[in-house]
Amino acid sequence: MIDLPDHMEFWSDLLEDLVKNYGVGRIALALCLVAFLCSLSAQAQEAASAATVPVRMTVTLSALGDTATMPTVNREDVTVTPGRRGERLKVTGWTAATGAHAALDLFILIDDASTTALGSQLDSLRSFINAQPATTAVGVGYMSNATVQIVQNLTTDHAAAARVVRLPRANTGAFGSPFLSVVNLMNGWPAHPARRVIVMVTDGIDRARGGPRARGLGPTNPDVIRASDVAQRTGTIIYTIFHPGVGYRSRNLWEATNGQNGIARLSDESGGEAFFLGLQTPVSFGPFLDGVQTALNNQYLLEFRAVPGRRAGAQSVSVSTEVPGVEIISAETAWVPAANQQ
C-alpha cells in the first residue's frame, strides 16, 4: 500500500518540479496512475475489512515478579495472532471490565464427592461471595451424577448466595464426573453480555467412567476435553481449587494426580488458573480466593477482527503484550462467528 502525504506545500513544490522536468502530459499520466493506485488500495482495504468478523474475548492481566502495581496496557500494546500463523489480527477494542463494563456472572460449584473436611473452608467461600461488588451476580451449585444441583440461581443478593453454601454430601454418586457436571451448567447458561466465570472446588477425579486406567485412555480424559471445548465456545473462564474427595480412588496416587491434571488443563485452556498445594488438603482457601479476586479485578474485554470459516467455530489465538512486568492470560481459542452471523 502506498502512503501518500497530503501536505499542500509538499504537493505544490512537487507539481512545480514535475512541470519543469517532465511537461504537462507526463504529469497528467502520473496523476492518473496515482489515482488508480489509491483506488485499488481503498478497494483492497474495504475487501479486507469485509472478509473479517468481530470477535470478543475476556482476558486477564497478570503482574510478573514483584511488581507492586499492575502496569498500564493500552490497546496499541496488545497483539493478537491466529494459531501458528505470524500475521497480526486487528485489535479494535480493549476495555477494562470496570464501571459500566463490570457485569459478571459468577458460579461457585462444589463437588458433592468432596470430603466433609471442606467444612473448614466454607466461611472463606462465604466471605468471598459477600465481598463481590454489586455488579456481580453469584450462583451456587453442587456437582453430582454429571449434573449440577443449583441451590441458588444467579443473584446480586450476595448474602442469600452465601447462606446456601453447605457441607458436601461426601458421596460419589452413581455417575460422578465434575467435568460432565460443569458442561451441564455451561450448556444451560443463558447467553448474556456479562463476563462468565466459574470457581470449581473438586479433586477432578472422574468416577463416572471407571477411571482412565480402566478405559485404557491414559491421562487424557475425554470429558476434560469436552468441558474445555464448551468453556472456550461459551467464553467461560474456569478457576479450579483442589480439595480431596471420598472413596478409594482419592487414595490412589495415579488417579488423584490425573484428576488434578484434568482440572489444571481445564483452567489453563479456558483462560483461568488452577490452585492447589500438591495432593494434600489445603490449610485455607483464603489465598486461593484472593488470587481469583485479583484476576477478576484485572480483566479486560478484548475485541478484534478475525477471518471466519464456512461455519462458526473455535480458532486458535495468541494474545500477548510487550509491556514489561505483565502478561495476558487468555483462552487458547476464540469463538469466531460465520460471516453471515454478524
Q: What is the DSSP string of 4-26?
A: ----HHHHHHHHHHHHHHHHHHH
What's the pLDDT band for 259 if we cut at 50, 70, 90?
A: very high
User: What is the distance in angstroms between the CA of the first residue and the CA of the last residue of the chain?
Assistant: 28
pLDDT recorded at residue 279: 83
Ranges of CATH 3.40.50.410 domains, the chain: 102-296
Cell of 78: 496488545
Percentage of the chain modeled with pLDDT above 90: 66
pLDDT recorded at residue 134: 97
Superfamily of domain 102-296: von Willebrand factor, type A domain (3.40.50.410)
8 or 122, which is more confident: 122
Mean pLDDT (whole number) for 29-40: 52
pLDDT in tens, 319-342: 999 999 999 999 999 999 988 765
114 or 26, which is more confident: 114
What's the pLDDT band for 214 if we cut at 50, 70, 90?
A: very low
Q: Is 204 left (phi over 0), alpha (psi -120 to 50) or beta?
A: left
**C-alpha to C-alpha distances, 69 to 194, 292, 293, nearest whole angstrom:** 26, 17, 15
pLDDT recorded at residue 205: 93
pLDDT recorded at residue 277: 87
pLDDT at 128 over 70: yes
> Around 79, how many Cα atoms within 13 Å sit in the side-chain half-sphere?
12
pLDDT in tens, 222-236: 999 999 999 999 999
pLDDT in tens, 50-66: 589 999 999 999 999 87
Predicted TM-score of the model (pTM): 0.83
Other CB atoms within a 10 A radius of the CB of residue 163 amount to 15
Spatial CB neighbours of 190, under 8 Å, sequence gap ≥ 6: none
